């Protein structure tokens, strides 16, 4: 009996089942089995509408071969929602999601009021709707000194399915209209999974408009060069954060690999090709990059671009940070220079979810320090800013 048990235990375990939202993998498996890919959106729709489903046998109207393949190689989701923290004002919900490798990522639901945005100088119609801030990596190798995620270092890339599953989990709490890749990680360092995930999100059953998806990058030049070809009409946001290379390298060590002159040339080529407005993200750090001369430098740097600048008040992230938040006076002065002298559309990002560490720069798993509390109100969103 012992030898029989020993020999049976030595057989290799079956490969782990993959997420049905790993689009390239499920398409390849269906093709190999001779099953039409048209059934895949039906499977996704079922899981989206039944996020707690344990298996895929209940998906209606599939061929028998599809059920057998799903049982053998797939599961509805490979990640699990661990916790959901709600901000006191209920505008923000931070989701902690555990991946199949045991690591965790965070995603944040932000609720906005479209009536607070303007279009052609007039208030927008509509009402409250939600944007999901998703993560693309566990940790980040960029090491930006003002960002909590950078303190984690890089741990792993998410699969395309794990990116999409963040929307599946978030849909239990809110109907998501916009998606921004501004969570944990550098999206363009996980380029293949990013492209695959976005292509899934703009298709059935998610049907997100490309104009309501924004990808933020520190400036990975070789990926920017192919971004428009692979992801047409998707918004590109660039975490510039400084108007010259020296300051940029000081606060963003990874910028050494992406010289500012080469980055701006790549962005100009991208804009000439895509005709898309570029969103420029600029974190306001007291005494570092928030002075009047920096505003003038930034204005001159962007004078040939169709751009919107989003000034971001720095979020304290505990003892891991040596930076301070710019004064409101300096932020307003900076905005006035960019708007008045250089005619650049410039907004100031209002903070959401600081009391649950869900605001910009605060996404980090297991950072022990206390964060500042903030009382946010319903806000207009970056996708509601149009020139």
- How far CA 15 is from CA of 18, 28, 375, in Å, comes to 9, 16, 47
249 is catalytic: no
292 is catalytic: no
Residue 7 CB-half CA count within 13 A: 3
Question: What is the Cα 372 distance to its own chain's centre?
Answer: 23
Q: How many Cβ atoms are within 10 Å of 254's Cβ, its own excluded?
A: 19
- How far CA 213 is from CA of 7, 77, 177, 193, 237, in Å, comes to 52, 22, 9, 15, 10
Taking the C-alpha atoms of residue 337 and residue 342, their distance in angstroms, rounded to an integer, is 7
Helix axes 191-201, 23-32, angle to 10 degrees: 80
Two tokens, residue 65 = 């071969």
Q: If you search the block for the tokens 């398409």, which residue do you land on?
A: 27
Answer yes or no: are the C-beta atoms of 231 and 174 closer than 8 Å: no
Q: Which of 29, 103, 106, 383 is catalytic?
A: 106
**Ramachandran bin of 380, using left for φ above 0, alpha for ψ from -120 to 50, beta for the remaining angles:** beta
Q: Which of 133, 140, 360, 383 is catalytic?
A: 360
Question: What is the Cα 135 distance to its own chain's centre?
Answer: 5
Question: How do strand 122-123 and strand 307-313 relate by DSSP bridges?
Answer: unpaired
Answer yes or no: are the C-beta atoms of 216 and 238 closer than 8 Å: yes
So which residues are the catalytic ones? 106, 360
């Amino acid at each position: 009996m012992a030898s029989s048990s020993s020999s049976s235990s030595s057989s290799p375990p079956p490969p782990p089942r993959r997420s049905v939202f790993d689009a390239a993998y499920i398409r390849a498996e269906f093709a190999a089995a001779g099953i039409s890919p048209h059934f895949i959106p039906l499977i996704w729709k079922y899981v989206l509408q039944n996020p707690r489903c344990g298996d895929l046998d209940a998906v209606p109207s599939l061929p028998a071969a599809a059920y057998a393949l799903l049982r053998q190689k797939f599961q509805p989701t490979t990640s699990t929602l661990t916790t959901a923290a709600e901000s006191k004002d209920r505008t923000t919900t931070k989701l902690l999601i555990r991946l199949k490798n045991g690591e965790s990522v965070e995603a944040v639901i932000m609720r906005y009021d479209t009536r607070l945005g303007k279009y052609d100088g007039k208030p927008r119609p509509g009402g409250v709707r939600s944007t999901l801030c998703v993560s693309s990596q566990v940790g980040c190798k960029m090491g930006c000194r003002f960002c909590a995620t950078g303190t984690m270092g890089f741990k792993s890339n998410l699969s395309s399915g794990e990116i999409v599953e963040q929307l599946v989990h978030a849909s239990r709490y809110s109907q998501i209209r916009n998606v921004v890749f501004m969570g944990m990680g550098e999206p363009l360092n996980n380029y293949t999974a990013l492209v695959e995930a976005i292509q899934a999100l703009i298709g059935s059953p998610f049907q997100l408009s490309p104009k309501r998806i924004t990808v933020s990058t520190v400036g990975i030049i070789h990926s920017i060069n192919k971004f428009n070809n692979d992801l047409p009409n998707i918004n590109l946001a660039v975490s510039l954060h400084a108007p010259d290379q020296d300051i940029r390298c000081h606060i963003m060590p990874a910028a050494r690999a992406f010289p500012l002159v080469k980055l701006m040339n790549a962005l100009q080529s991208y804009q000439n090709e895509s005709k898309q407005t570029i969103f420029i993200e600029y974190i306001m750090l007291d005494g570092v990059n928030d002075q009047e001369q920096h505003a003038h430098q930034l204005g001159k740097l962007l004078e040939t671009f169709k751009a919107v600048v989003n000034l971001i008040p720095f979020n304290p992230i505990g003892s891991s940070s040596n930076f301070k938040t710019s004064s409101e006076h300096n932020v307003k002065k900076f905005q006035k220079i960019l708007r008045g002298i250089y005619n650049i559309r410039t907004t100031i990002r209002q903070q959401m979810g600081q009391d649950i560490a869900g605001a910009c720069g605060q996404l980090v798993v297991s950072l022990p320090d206390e964060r500042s509390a903030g009382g946010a109100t319903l806000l207009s969103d970056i996708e509601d800013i149009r020139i």
